[in-house]
Amino acid sequence: MLIASVSDFRKDIKSYLDRVSKNFETLIINRGKDSGIVVMSLEEYNSLMATNYELSSRINESRLDSAIEKLKSNQSFEKELIEE
């Protein structure tokens, strides 16, 4: 996680944005007492939104937990896709 003041961010905006996008880092820009902005890559944002959606209902959350437990206990299996 990167932290910068607004003035530091302004001085070197390209470098900060390159680090965020290339290294999947999160940038926090301090804007004063208890105030700030978070900058993250679009890929990271989309990933967070997908996770949020998957965990938004008890049914989805239960399915994911079950799948994780099966993987951990080696009860998973692999299937080959049928190509047409």
Q: CA 38, CA 49: separation in Å to the nearest integer?
A: 15
CATH of domain 2-40: 3.40.1620
Q: What is the pTM of this model?
A: 0.64
**pLDDT confidence bin for 63, thresholds 50/70/90:** confident
Query: Hey, where are the domains in the chain?
Result: 2-40, 43-73
Please count the other Cβ atoms lying within 10 Å of the Cβ belonging to residue 28: 14
Q: CA 61, CA 69: separation in Å to the nearest integer?
A: 12
Average pLDDT over residues 32-53: 91
- Using DSSP, state whether 59 is helix, strand or coil: helix
Question: In sequence order, what are the beta bridge partners of 3?
Answer: 28
List the one residue out of 59, 75, 79 whose CA is nearest residue 67: 75
pLDDT score of 77 more than 80: no
